């Protein structure tokens, strides 16, 4: 593995602070614009893009096959039965929602705190959020058994004879996820408007000029436009910030409001949120590292970004560790037989292997290694650890849902759970859809905000358009 050596005089190190630079030295307004515009407006799409796109398309096809068979046969093709009435569908729903959290945190919270290092990764993190929420939203609809009545999830009483049950956590999920998705899409689109205008002005194709001109909404870069843009960005950031905390909190209520041992706990909301941010930043790393290598963006997505995301993963990882510890402590301290048994069963029962997998992937490996700055700036290691963490977070949801249901209050009703091929096809199909949608975004829309990156240059006090013309 290639390790970045930190030496005095290294051009990637800011001599004033000793930290890695947000962008590499030697960049200009023109070079940044050309680098990002070239990715979108190139007439020659790289063959590597087509190769990955084809594999992702195979995943989408697999998803479609699984969904068609599901609609024909019903949810009986999955492994859900008694006592495990929830399975892969809910596991994957919670996992995908968690992955989408880092995009909103980078876009909203770090914007409000004026963290300039967020600029290079904010755009594709926002796109990651949108596609992850789309994957998540699929599972409740297909899990209800009658997907053609999926609109019943919305609070529209005039569509049915019975009013929606507003005390149901499923209804809360609908409110939370739909609001989260709406704000994320608006935030993502508003941030792209100035860059879409740049693509409109630089495109040589009439179709592209019309397409990007329509999307840019008549943007001309006037003072009034910039003022409205900044105001809208701050307002949307303020609206989106509570969603980072509220969405996964609401989803944790699916479990916390139940009376099942292992679910009925007040620690779920905070540690579900921390776990979501943990897995979200892991997915940002999984996407950012190949992108910077494939498109030669090392000067824009620098070691500073990798290092900072490693630090945030370390912090949220310790919050998750605290949540695990408090769950076990309260199970013992409550002196409740079934609570204590649930946690013993998780660790040493027939599915104990899944519990120790999540402990290894979420705690043992990342929390003992991410202290090292040398490892945090080791690109290969950070790519591997990002996959390890998301694997662990998936197993966390598996342990919470499946092992808690396999053995409940009545021993005569104990059972087991073995996912079917249709469960796996649906899950890996959504992964294929996620990659498929993300590749289309990278190919046809600017994945790095040119305007925000140009603001980081020494000459940023000059208006970007004037500076670029003078360059």
Q: Supply the DSSP string of 428-450, one letter for each residue.
A: HHHHHHHHHHHHHHHHHS-SS-H
Token pair 């959290």 is found at 101
For residues 98, 102, 104, 107, the Cα torsion angle rounded to the nearest 10 degrees is -170
**271 near 358, Cβ under 8 Å?**
no
pLDDT in tens, the chain (471 residues): 444 555 544 555 655 455 567 787 778 888 888 999 999 998 888 899 999 999 999 999 999 999 999 999 888 889 888 788 888 889 999 999 999 888 888 888 888 888 888 888 889 899 999 999 999 999 988 887 778 877 777 766 666 666 667 777 778 888 888 888 999 999 999 999 999 999 999 998 899 999 999 999 989 989 999 999 999 989 988 888 888 888 888 888 888 888 888 888 888 999 899 999 999 999 999 999 999 999 988 889 888 899 999 999 999 999 999 999 998 898 888 888 888 888 898 889 888 899 999 999 999 999 999 999 999 999 999 999 999 999 999 999 999 999 888 887 777 778 788 889 999 999 999 999 999 999 999 999 999 998 888 888 775 554 444 444 444
Distance of alpha carbon 397 from alpha carbon 406, whole angstroms: 14
**138 near 150, Cβ under 8 Å?**
no
Distance of alpha carbon 219 from alpha carbon 202, whole angstroms: 14
153, 154, 212, 231, 292 from 166: Cα distances, Å = 10, 10, 42, 35, 45
Distance of alpha carbon 187 from alpha carbon 382, whole angstroms: 28
pLDDT of amino acid 437: 96
pTM here is 0.89
Token readout for 262 is 């292992």
Token readout for 193 is 């408007």
Count the neighbouring beta carbons within 10 Å of the beta carbon of residue 113.
9
218, 301, 344, 407 from 411: Cα distances, Å = 67, 54, 15, 7
């Amino acid at each position: 593995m290639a390790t970045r050596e930190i030496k005095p005089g290294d051009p990637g190190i800011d001599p004033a602070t000793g930290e890695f630079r947000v962008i590499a030295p030697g960049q200009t307004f023109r070079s940044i614009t050309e680098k990002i515009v070239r990715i979108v407006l190139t007439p020659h799409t790289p063959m590597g893009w087509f190769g990955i796109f084809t594999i992702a398309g195979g995943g989408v096809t697999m998803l479609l096959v699984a969904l068609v068979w599901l609609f024909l046969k019903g949810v009986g093709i999955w492994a859900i039965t008694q006592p495990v009435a929830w399975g892969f569908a809910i596991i994957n729903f919670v996992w995908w929602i968690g992955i989408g959290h880092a995009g909103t945190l980078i876009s909203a919270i770090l914007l409000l705190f004026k963290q300039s290092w967020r600029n290079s990764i904010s755009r594709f993190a926002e796109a990651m959020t949108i596609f992850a929420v789309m994957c998540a939203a699929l599972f409740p609809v297909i899990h209800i058994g009658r997907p053609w009545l999926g609109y019943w999830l919305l609070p529209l009483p005039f569509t049915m004879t019975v009013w929606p049950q507003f005390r149901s956590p499923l209804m809360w999920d609908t409110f939370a996820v739909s609001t989260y998705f709406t704000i994320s899409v608006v935030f993502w689109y508003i941030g792209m408007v100035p860059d879409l205008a740049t693509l409109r002005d630089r495109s040589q194709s009439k179709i592209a000029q019309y397409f990007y001109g329509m999307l840019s909404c008549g943007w001309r870069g006037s003072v009034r436009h910039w003022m409205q843009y900044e105001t809208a960005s701050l307002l949307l950031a303020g609206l989106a910030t509570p969603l980072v905390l509220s969405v996964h909190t609401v989803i944790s209520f699916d479990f916390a409001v139940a009376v099942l041992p292992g679910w009925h706990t007040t620690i779920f909301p905070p540690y579900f949120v921390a776990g979501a941010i943990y897995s979200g930043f892991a997915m940002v790393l999984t996407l950012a590292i190949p992108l910077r290598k494939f498109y030669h963006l090392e000067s824009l997505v620098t070691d500073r970004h990798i290092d900072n995301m490693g630090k945030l993963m370390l912090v949220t990882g310790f919050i998750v560790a605290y949540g695990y510890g408090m769950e076990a402590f309260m199970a013992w301290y409550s002196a409740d037989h079934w609570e204590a048994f649930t946690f013993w069963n998780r660790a040493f029962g027939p599915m104990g292997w899944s519990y120790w997998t999540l402990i290894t992937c979420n705690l043992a490996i990342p929390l003992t290694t991410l202290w090292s700055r040398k490892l945090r700036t080791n690109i290969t290691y950070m790519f591997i650890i990002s996959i390890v963490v998301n694997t662990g977070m998936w197993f966390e949801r598996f342990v919470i849902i499946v092992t808690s249901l396999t053995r409940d209050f009545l021993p005569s009703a104990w059972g087991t759970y073995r996912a079917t091929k249709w469960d796996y096809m649906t899950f890996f199909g959504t992964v294929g859809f996620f990659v498929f949608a993300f590749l289309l975004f990278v190919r046809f829309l600017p994945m790095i905000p040119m305007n925000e990156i140009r603001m980081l240059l020494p000459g940023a006090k000059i208006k970007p358009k004037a500076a670029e013309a003078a360059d």
